[in-house]
Structure 1
Amino acid sequence: MTTYDILGNIGSIFNLLIFSRSSHRRNSCSLYIVSMSLCSSIGLNSAVIPIIYALDHPNPLSYSIPFCKSQYYFRHVFSQSMRTFFVIICVDRYASCNNRVFIRSFSRHKIAIRVIPLVMIFWILLGLFPTMLYTVSNGVCDVQSGLPNILYSAYIMIVLGIFPLVTLCTFGVLMVINLKELRANIQTLGNRKIISILRKRDRDMMRMLLTELVIYIITTIPNTVALIYKAAAPPAANGSERQCIESFVFYFVREFLLYLNNSLSFWIYLITSQSFRHEFKRLLLHLFSFVKHKKPQVAIVH
């Protein structure tokens, strides 16, 4: 977790530097990626740093209810905001390649400026509900068994599983259909250069989208399954082998896997998109040039 926390923060910084450049500032998709990267980094650090700190120090999550609630609130609000921005990015990509002017109008800078604060306000308010269910019991910061656990499991199943997956799959399919129609229309005009550029962009976009979608499924579905199991299964006896196995599985799917997703967007873009690699190369050259020109000149004394 230390490794992917460091790599995740490095990736978020590079995403911010690339997508906040002047050539991207008026692009709605870039604004959503900047917002997603910020939320991703805050959610990642809120979740992982207390776990790393607890390796060599007393874990405040095991005895402090205010710390338990506040830590969960920040990681939940910002991680859910990150996932919501990912969904909106897919919607924005679908709208940008739609043949209808009305739908295409949603992929605009002005719309993004309004949507971004609304998403943050929504999760800041909704995040209060699951936070109230969290408490410290037997040295563990978690939701208590019984009705609170059932309510929490249902809530997480909806906001982390059903809604994002259905939305992502739906708009992913719609985007593929729209891109095929757009490519067919351009092909009718016979402009081979535009067709070649469009096909390359299609491939880059689909690789990025499908890779992110697959990783989202891999990192979130096990958490939903674990929560359903926890709500339905009777509690294990203290010190039993079953309790040890459950503790490890819950840690792996609810902490390690779940927040791994926060650290991957930059690295997915870098691996799957050639155009993004060109952007990254230009950024590195720009930073190198900036540092080189900022170096103090040493005066030669004769």
Structure 2
Amino acid sequence: MTLISDLSSIQNILTRYVLTICYALGILGSILNLLVFSQRKLRKNSCSIYFIATSIFNLLAILFGMTSVIIDSYLPDNSSKHSITFCKTKAYLIHVFLMISRSSVALACVDRFALCSQNTFLRNLCQRRIALILILVICVLWIIIPIHVIIYVNIQSASRCGAAGVYQIVYSIYTTIATSAPLIVMILFSIWAIQNLHQSQIRTQPAARTRNAYPNSVPRIKRRDIQLVKVLISEVVAYVLSTIWFPLTTIYLTITADISKTADRLAVEDFIRYLAVGFLIYLNSCSMFYAHILASKPFRQESQQLFLPFCQQSPHQRGFRGTSVISKNRERLKYIYHR
């Protein structure tokens, strides 16, 4: 077998089997994320609002993006691949959904940085109302900013939907900036949030006896907010590892666009483009719930609470044993989150 056929076979396997499994797990995980962060004790937290927004737009990206990718792997000659309207609409919507999701995570990092700050004004910005306003603002911005995608993106050779000519250069610059900016914000503000949290814990211990006299000098951060920082860091790590390849690949392909290439090199570049644009990006959208579970024990316990009412084996157990288990878990979570 040649390199071209080998890479094509690997791509088909990744799409048909790996992405199909991720598709199902991603939909389930996004819904569970929404259920967990929509609970009464969490949805009042500003950071949870950003997590809810991220889950919603990740779910939309999975439904609108991955569905067609998986269908194309089984039906390579379906008519949608030749539809200009479908090409433009899909490219625009997926870009909007992913950018709102990334921006929501970036805002969550800024929110946690502000919460862990000594500055009272910054801490006061961590409010649910402000989070809702900012989510609305980024939704409007990312609906307007990528309008050019609908105008210039078109079907190219081999029924590939993308940019060409001068717009390919413009689009590569735009996507590099648009993708890199949220990642830079995530990395910087998550690092600063961790530093502020560490310094706050150091200051809080010796100042515990004087907190009543100076309530604003040593802010006490709740255990719930510390756990949300851990959940956020897991999300940032997943975003960075899966998304950083997209701008790098875009820059490389743009720089080498006019270079004469062999068929094998073109096959390798197409496979790398697939990994960066059609695989890792969607894999990231599907992985958030599972990254949260790995990062935070309270999040795992909150997730278990969603299934406990359905795990009772008999009416008798539902009335006594099940109630006892749920009550114990609720008391444990109440201690963890409100400590």
The number of aligned residues is: 287
Task: After superposing the two structures, state which structure 1 stretch, 214-223 or 7-16, moved more.
Answer: 214-223
* RMSD over equivalenced CA pairs, Å: 2.7
Query: What residue identity is the alignment partner of 1:114?
Result: I
Question: Offset at 1:70?
Answer: 0.6
Cα distance, 1:4 vs. partner? 0.9
1:229 to 2:247 alignment? no
Moved more, 67-76 or 129-138: 129-138
Residue 266 of structure 1 aligns with which residue? 289
Give distance in 1, aligned partners of 2:261 and 2:190: 46
Deviations 1:232-263 (A, max 9, x none): 11357798222222221211111101221111
Residues 33 and 212 (structure 1), Cα distance of their counterparts in 2 relative to 1, 3 Å cut: closer
Task: Tell me the secondary structure at the aligned position of residue 99 of structure 1.
Answer: coil
Is 2:237 the partner of 1:211? no
Structure 2 CA distance, aligned partners of 1:292 and 1:46? 41
The 3 A distance-change label for structure 1 pair 234 and 93 is closer
**Aligned 8 A contact 2:22 2:283 in 1:** yes
| 2:238–2:288 Cα contact (<8 Å) kept | no
- Amino acid across the alignment from 2:142: W
- AA aligned to 2:204 is I
**Where in structure 2 are the equivalents of 1:193-204 lying within 5 Å?**
204=227
Runs (5+) with no aligned partner, structure 1: 192-196, 296-302
1:298 is matched with none
Shift of 1:184: 1.9
Q: Quote the residue 2:52 is aligned against.
A: 34
1:12-23 matches, cutoff 5 A:
12-23=30-41
CA contact (8 A) 1:4 1:260 kept: yes
Q: Matches of residues 1-302 of structure 1 in structure 2 within 5 Å?
A: 1-57=19-75, 58-161=77-180, 163-190=181-208, 204-205=227-228, 207-234=230-257, 240-288=263-311
* Structure 2 residue matching 1:107: 3-state secondary structure: coil
1:68-96 C-alpha deviation (Å, 9 max, x unpaired): 01111111111111111111111111122
Q: Contact 2:116–2:221 at 8 Å: present in 1 too? A: no
Would the aligned equivalents of 1:61 and 1:141 in 2 still touch at CA under 8 Å? Answer: no
Query: TM-score when scaled to structure 2?
Result: 0.77
TM-score of the pair, normalised by structure 1? 0.86
> By how many angstroms is 1:268 displaced?
0.6
Aligned mates of 1:263, 1:21 — CA distance in 2: 21
Deviations along 1:254-279, whole A, 9 cap, x unmatched?
A: 11012211111110110110111111
* 8 Å Cα contact 2:156/2:164 also seen in 1: no
Query: AA paired with 1:75?
Result: I
Deviation at 1:200, TM superposition (A): 6.8
